[in-house]
Amino acid sequence: MSTLLVTNGTLVTDTATFAADILVRDGKIAAVGSDFQAAGVEVVDAAGKLLLPGGVDPHVHLDLPMFGTTSSDDHYTGTKAAAFGGTTTVIDFVSLPPPVPPHSGVEWGGIKGGVASWRVKAEKAAVDYSAHMNLTRFDEAIAAELPSLPGMGITTLKVFTAYNGRLRIDDGSIFKALRIARDHGMLVLLHAENGDVIDVLVAEALAAGHRTPEWHARTRPAWGAVEAALRAFALAATADAPLYLVHMNVAGEVDMLRYARERGLKVMGETCPQYLFFTDDDLRRPDGAKWLCSPPVRSAADNARLWEGLADGTIQTIGTDHCPFFFDGTKPILYEGKEIAIPGKELGAGDFTKIPNGLPGIQDRLPVLWTAGVGSGKLTANQFVALTSTNPAKIFGLYPRKGALLPGSDADIVVWDPEKKVSYGVALSHQRTDYNLYEGWELTGMPEKVFLRGRLIVDGEQWLGRAGMGEFLPRQPGAPIQ
């Protein structure tokens, strides 16, 4: 593959900012420095621009079946949107297939079957990708299969303390999974809410005739997230295993994470943009279903505490939990010149328990965080890179191939224009849905060019990538605790 030289840019890493040229050969960074020979080399002049390592989104749900529909971005459309937002690596989720009845003739059930069918679905990705395993059942057979996961390139397990009867496993099973993970260099991810309390509150709300989206938040209390986080930290401490708290949404989780880390526990945390910007007031809007996700958006005080947790290093990463649905899936949108409509939030009109949970954000993450985080002085540019690229790459066993612009790293380079101003919204979004949470936001700072392993895939508004050019990233066990 040809050689590329990106000149005159300012490189931003997780710890430093400096002028540097980047020489790329065969899709990898060959050297970082100055005075490289440009003869016979394609040159990209990045004067006045920043050079960032491609974003790593550690938490996305592509083509996820839910409530009789599926999340509306598949592995192609979601990864294309990711690229337009400056993200070149995503980590999706493998689901466990239903148990295989004996003598059914089905060759692969369980973990192996789940990974095999996810690999087929994910082949059309346009940026590089990996997956976590959703551990939504636990028995002797599943426990016996878990150690084979790293051999399939998957080193992380997500467990749930909510979604009773669907995704939740009991505390004893979480404890056993933590010990297996510890013994095989794997990491457990936790969705922290109190499933029992949610079930009681939902039944009471429905009996009382409450049907609107705000009741989604009112039946999923913040204290449930706080106690479930502390409970899981205690299980992790007892198992002497690492744990990563996904989609932190409430101030008390930040306090619990800080408390646990100060005591030397190997625990880490992730939040998502929706928990930094939105509140349950948004759920009370006429189009409140657009903001409905689990865990729910909380209060302005929670937003503020999460920002503090990012700035002071208590929280390690910002993912998206990208899980989009149409707001009105009866009305088609144009996607790549063709009409498409996918059933979405309207499925729950008149009953908040039937609204598909989740919202879009895979493309929005870097642009909104740059403006609202770096632009406002809440985060430095280096913290921005650490939280959205380097830390997730380290925690999930992808560093320094991803999350860095070092010699030998993949040449996933974002040429970032810190001065570019846009009025953001669905018209600029490639997320395959009919709305954008940041409609009308005035943003300053956008990706100008995005390279995936040295290939230009986004040039301004032009899409140069294609389905299937993303590579599966097998991850190594034993990734460092951050």
Give per-residue burial for 15-43: e unless 16+ CB within 10 Å, then b: eeeeebbbbbbebbbbebeeebeeeeeee
Encoded one letter per residue, x for contact with ligand URP by CB under 6 A and - for no contact, window 188-227 reads ---x------------------------------------
Q: Given the complex with Zn ion, which of 10 and 161 has the nearer CB atom?
A: 161
Binding residues for Zn ion, total number by CB under 5 A: 2
| Site for ligand URP contains 293 (CB under 6 A) | yes
Q: Is 455 in the site for Zn ion (CB under 5 A)?
A: no
Short-list 358, 292, 273, CA closest to 322 = 358
Among residues 61, 75, 132, 345, the one that binds ligand URP under rule CB under 6 A: 61
From 185-193, 194-202, 303-311, 454-462, span contacting Zn ion (CB under 5 A): 185-193
Q: Tell me which of 77, 79, 134, 294 binds ligand URP, using CB under 6 A.
A: 294
Number of residue whose CB is nearest Zn ion: 191
Check residue 253 for interaction with ligand URP (CB under 6 A).
no
Exposed, middle or buried: residue 481 (CB in 10 Å: 0-12, 13-18, 19+)? middle
Q: Does the footprint of Zn ion cover residue 168 (CB under 5 A)? A: no
- Residue 371's identity, in one-letter code, is T
| 72 contact, one of Zn ion, ligand URP, none, CB 5-8 Å limit per kind | none
Alpha carbon distance 12, 4 (integer Å): 19
What is the amino acid identity at position 459?
D
Q: Is 282 a residue that touches Zn ion (CB under 5 A)?
A: no
**Residue 197 backbone phi and psi in degrees, to 5:** -65, -40
- Nearest-approach distance from CB 239 to Zn ion, in angstroms: 21
305 touches ligand URP (CB under 6 A): no
| Both tokens assigned to 227 | 């106690």
| Cβ 189 vs Cβ 132: under 8 Å | yes
- We find the least distance from the C-beta atom of residue 189 to Zn ion, in angstroms, to be 8
Residue 442 Cβ vs ligand URP, minimum distance, rounded to whole Å? 27
- The DSSP-derived string for 319-371 is ---B----SSTTS-EEETTEEE----GGGGTT-GGGSPP-B--TTTHHHHHII
Q: Is 79 helix (H, G, I), strand (E, B) or coil?
A: helix
Nearer to ligand URP, 152 or 246 (CB): 246
Q: Which stretch binds Zn ion (CB under 5 A): 27-35, 81-89, 144-152, 313-321?
A: 313-321
H or E element: which one contains 4? strand 3-12
The reply on whether position 465 binds ligand URP by CB under 6 A is no
Q: Which is nearer to Zn ion, 59 or 475 (CB)?
A: 59
- Using the rule CB under 6 A, is 168 a contact of ligand URP? no
Q: According to the binding rule CB under 5 A, does residue 321 interact with Zn ion? A: yes
Question: What are the helix and strand counts (H, E) for the chain?
Answer: 14, 21
* Residues from 357 through 386 that contact ligand URP (CB under 6 A): 357-358
Q: Is 371 left (phi over 0), alpha (psi -120 to 50) or beta?
A: alpha
Asked if residue 266 binds Zn ion (CB under 5 A), the reply is no
User: Who's near 224: CB < 8 A, 6+ residues apart?
Assistant: 162, 192, 193, 194, 197, 198
Closer residue to ligand URP, CB minimum distance, 220 or 455? 220
Which residue in the set 74, 253, 321, 434 belongs to the binding site for ligand URP (CB under 6 A)?
A: 321
Assess 322 for contact with ligand URP (CB under 6 A). no
Two tokens at 215? Answer: 């009741």
Q: How far is the CB of 104 from Zn ion (least distance, A)?
A: 30
156 phi and psi, to 5 degrees? Answer: -135, 145
Rounded Cα–Cα distance for residues 69 and 328 (Å): 13
Least distance CB 60 / Zn ion (angstroms): 8
Site membership for ligand URP, residue 323 (CB under 6 A): yes
442, containing H or E segment: strand 442-452
Comparison of 294 and 431: residue with beta carbon closer to ligand URP: 294
Q: Which chain residues interact with ligand URP by CB under 6 A?
A: 61, 191, 293-294, 321, 323, 357-358
Residues lying near Zn ion in the complex (CB under 5 A) are found at 191, 321
